[in-house]
Structure 1
Amino acid sequence: MSSSEHSSYRVDSETGRLRRVILHRPGGELRRLTPRNNGALLFDGVPWVERAQAEHDRFARTLLDHGVEVLYIGALLTECLYLPEAREEVVASVAADRNLGETLGRELRAYLSDLDPERLAAVLIEGLTKDEFGTVPIYGSQASPRGGSLRHRLMRGTDFVIDPLPNMMFTRDSAVWIGDAVAVTSLAMPARRRETTLTGVIYRHHQRFTDIPKIYDPSLEHLEGGDVLALAPGVLAVGVGERTTPAGVERLARRVFERGTIRTVLAVPIAQRRATMHLDTVCTMVDADRMVMYAPAERRLEAYTITPGDSGGLDIGGPRLFIDAAAEAIGVERLEIIHTGERDVVTAEREQWDDGNNTLALAPGMAVAYERNTVTNARLERAGIKTMTIPGSELGSGRGGPRCMSCPITRD
């Protein structure tokens, strides 16, 4: 890939025209969800997989119809796994899970090493049960039970040797682009941490991204992409709550200040609960100076303003009202706020829960939203925001909307 193509990867705002994005079409990993495990795997229900895929296809088609190039995690990962060094890295990482124990880890490593790239990519995302793991080959011809591992002996047939990644479709969280660099994040929930292993392999080994600067990695303090909003060129807002820690915000701030791509970071504490797991479940930008926001948050959200200090330190001011701090950092007199739902508490709460705030801007004044949030969408349209709606009755069971399901890598 030419240097000019590499240089085309850049994201400086939430609303510049979207040119290129990474998605993950949900697949076999959703078929692993049951009433017994869906909570541990961070889903609020057991989705109808075929309907979820159809909904996701509609989302991708909406993007394609508006001139957005769509790349898929599964294809990018498979291409990487043809490279011996990428393959070895990911296999070693998965087999090193301390919960497996030494013997089962060694046998799993041998099993994965024998898979072709397509099958290996599928297993890494969809997971692997004890029954599927089966028996261990001996000298390439015989087979015997995997009896040398106590961990294996105590597992039921449907227990996972490799857990599935049903949240993989929320590609926003495991990586976020800041200017011309990518931050491979540090996911807080154990059920999601292998997502960054796979995302990291893609950004380190795929020919599209090998020369791209990397400014964060999963070994660092917890930081998730759903909490990072590029309010304007040079300005980030980062939620601090269930998924992103204050230490993660500090680390990110130092790194973007060192690169000179960001001048102001707003740290925004949010309630640490399921309904508001990320900042983008509370508010998203739909234009350069317009934001859709959960109505009760407008007068509650505060922000600490972080700017570069002396000798590599940080200057921290505030707190003050988030919408005021954001307007000042962006350089506008005020932000126009479009509320989720109407001002009555019930409608606002229902549509916030159904990701009414979680819009994906395709261009200034143009956004994708879930069709079910009829009141919020009507308010967006009345405000002059062209709103493309997509179905999300099944996709939404993982508590994520169009912004969560997309990782922009190129915006004007």
Structure 2
Amino acid sequence: MTAPIHVRSEIGKLKTVLLKRPGEEIENFTPEMMERLLFDDIPFLPEAQKEHDAFADILRDNGAEVLYLENLSAEAIDAGNVKDAFLEEILTESGYAAGTTHDALKEYLMSMSTLDMVDKIMSGVRKNEIDFVPSDLVSAAEDREYPFFMDPMPNLYFTRDPAASIGDGLTINRMTFDARHRESLFMETIIKYHPRFADKGLHVWRDRYHTTRLEGGDELVLSDHVLAIGVSQRTSADAIQDVARSLFDPANDSEYDTIIAIEIPHNHAMMHLDTVFTMINHDQFTVHPGILGEGGKIDTWTMHPANNEDGFTIEHNQDLEGVLKKELGLSELDLIPTGDGDPIIAGREQWNDGSNTLAIAPGVVVTYNRNYVSNELLRKHGLKVIDTLSSELSRGRGGPRCMSMPLVREDL
């Protein structure tokens, strides 16, 4: 495993992982801005950082190398000598392609060290930081009372979503909401310019320059040839078909020949597939009962390569367990319900990411400590469960899987 990205399962021993330590961005906003920034609460930064550091220590203690998005981004910008170009792109995507506001922001940010510039872009640029009164029409037409020139990016500590590792490559994602569109630019820059990743033959299965939406929380690598992708609030069916065309193209040599698209409710509580369904062992999965209809039915579409106009066939099914057994070659399957299936407990613990488990080895998972009913049930099913602190991190509506982007896992 010499490739800098190598992920052929959800459960292979985690060797290298990308995190983003929460910074000023997670509390650099007001309650009035929460809907705009996709947050339901404002975390307490010092405690969130302590909890995140404890999470990172768990991963290190279990043999994983931990890399940080903010550091890799700054190192990539410097290595590629692209500070000016990166800043032009981020300003354009922030709504300032040209004009006096663009010029003032660029002068302000270029005056910083590269790491300080990255941190400032992530945490947001307030209007009172710059001694400048906008004179261009765009800025003048905006809400003069709004406190930011460039919004903070509080969702960045959920590194799973802007990009997702698949085999010896990744998708760099076009995210759904404006609040998160800029996030994947950091990973694009890292892949292009960081010495660890640039010119290493990595496949970009789908880049960020699309109109259809795709987010990493919906992408699950079930084996060395099978993916599951959620059709969700954040990922569209069209995007899944794009991924299929890319992975199934013989010229790309991806080794992936199966994609299982799983439809989940399109709402904020269940925004990604990994908030309701995760793989935790060879034959064990967590599942939120709220996604299953009568008799455990749920709509799935299984895609395989084909020599036709689309490049693939599609087979509809409503028996998720049967589909997983068939495509993964399993005779038995253990679907473990969030909250032990109790409708009140399951709803509460799913809201607090009880289904969002991170497997760091087969049968070894990291979970939020607050989901004690689900965690105890996992233990009863033979899993090793490592609790991590969650009072503040969970306010952002994402769990251990959301907060981590595996870069390298051991093969099974």
TM-score bracket, shorter-length normalisation: over 0.9
Q: Aligned partners of 2:142 and 2:181: how far apart in 1?
A: 25
Q: Aligned partners of 1:80 and 1:208: how far apart in 2?
A: 9
**Aligned position for 1:308:** 305
Q: Aligned partners of 1:40 and 1:148: how far apart in 2?
A: 24
User: 1:19–1:84: structure 2 CA closer, same or farther, 3 Å change rule?
Assistant: closer
Root-mean-square deviation over aligned CA pairs: 1.8
Q: Aligned partners of 1:223 and 1:114: how far apart in 2?
A: 35
Matched, 1:95 2:91: yes
- Opposite residue 167 of structure 2, the aligned amino acid is G
Q: Aligned partners of 2:63 and 2:287: how far apart in 1?
A: 27
Q: How far did residue 150 of structure 1 move?
A: 5.7
Q: Aligned partners of 1:236 and 1:85: how far apart in 2?
A: 36
Listed as ranges, the matches of 1:27-106 within 5 Å are 27-83=23-79, 85-97=81-93, 99-100=95-96, 102-103=98-99, 104-106=101-103
SS at match of 1:29: helix
**Aligned position for 2:269:** 275
SS at match of 2:73: helix
Listed as ranges, the matches of 1:180-329 within 5 Å are 180-210=168-198, 211=200, 212-220=202-210, 221-258=212-249, 259-298=253-292, 299-311=296-308, 313-329=311-327
Name the TM-score, length of structure 1 as normaliser.
Answer: 0.92
| 8 A Cα contact 2:94 2:150, kept in partner | no
Q: Aligned partners of 1:408 and 1:164: how far apart in 2?
A: 25
Which 10-residue stretch deviates more, 242-251 or 299-308? 299-308
Q: Aligned partners of 2:326 and 2:120: how far apart in 1?
A: 48
**Aligned partner of 2:129 among 127, 132, 139:** 132
SS at match of 2:165: strand
Q: How far did residue 222 of structure 1 move?
A: 1.0
**Aligned partner of 2:107 among 103, 107, 110:** 110
Deviations 1:71-113, CA, capped at 9 Å, x for gaps = 0001101112224543233211122247447312233233333
- Opposite residue 396 of structure 2, the aligned amino acid is G
**Aligned partner of 1:10 among 6, 9, 12:** 6
User: 1:235–1:165: structure 2 CA closer, same or farther, 3 Å change rule?
Assistant: same
Which 10-residue stretch deviates more, 184-193 or 114-123? 114-123
Q: How far did residue 207 of structure 1 move?
A: 0.9
Deviations 1:13-59, CA, capped at 9 Å, x for gaps = 00011100000000110121321111211111111111111110110
**Aligned position for 1:406:** 404
- Opposite residue 122 of structure 1, the aligned amino acid is D
Number of aligned residue pairs: 399
Which 10-residue stretch deviates more, 389-398 or 362-371? 389-398
**Aligned position for 2:119:** 122
| 8 A Cα contact 2:88 2:97, kept in partner | no
- Opposite residue 303 of structure 1, the aligned amino acid is T
Q: Aligned partners of 1:118 and 1:23: how far apart in 2?
A: 16
Q: How far did residue 157 of structure 1 move?
A: 6.6
**Aligned position for 1:376:** 374
Deviations 1:129-181, CA, capped at 9 Å, x for gaps = 1111323xxxxxxxxx5545561586547621111100000000011111001
**Aligned position for 2:328:** 330
Q: Aligned partners of 1:100 and 1:260: how far apart in 2?
A: 38
Q: How far did residue 183 of structure 1 move?
A: 1.1
User: 1:305–1:173: structure 2 CA closer, same or farther, 3 Å change rule?
Assistant: same
Q: Aligned partners of 1:120 and 1:303: how far apart in 2?
A: 44
Q: Aligned partners of 1:147 and 1:37: how far apart in 2?
A: 25
Deviations 1:283-323, CA, capped at 9 Å, x for gaps = 11110110011124341322100000114611001123222
Q: Aligned partners of 2:141 and 2:243: how far apart in 1?
A: 44
- Opposite residue 336 of structure 1, the aligned amino acid is D
Which 10-residue stretch deviates more, 125-134 or 79-88? 79-88
| 8 A Cα contact 1:177 1:183, kept in partner | yes
**Segments of 4+ moved more than 2 angstroms:** 83-86, 97-102, 105-115, 145-150, 152-158, 295-298
- Give aligned-pair identity as a percent: 35
Name the TM-score, length of structure 2 as normaliser.
Answer: 0.92
**Aligned position for 1:139:** none
Q: Aligned partners of 1:335 and 1:186: how far apart in 2?
A: 33
SS at match of 2:365: strand
Unaligned runs of 5+ in 1: 136-144
Q: Aligned partners of 1:15 and 1:97: how far apart in 2?
A: 36
Q: Aligned partners of 1:218 and 1:160: how far apart in 2?
A: 25
- Opposite residue 396 of structure 1, the aligned amino acid is S
Deviations 1:380-399, CA, capped at 9 Å, x for gaps = 00111000001111111111
User: 1:152–1:111: structure 2 CA closer, same or farther, 3 Å change rule?
Assistant: farther
| 8 A Cα contact 2:4 2:197, kept in partner | no
Q: Aligned partners of 2:138 and 2:235: how far apart in 1?
A: 36
Which 10-residue stretch deviates more, 320-329 or 14-23? 320-329
Q: Aligned partners of 2:363 and 2:399: how far apart in 1?
A: 18
Q: How far did residue 406 of structure 1 move?
A: 0.1
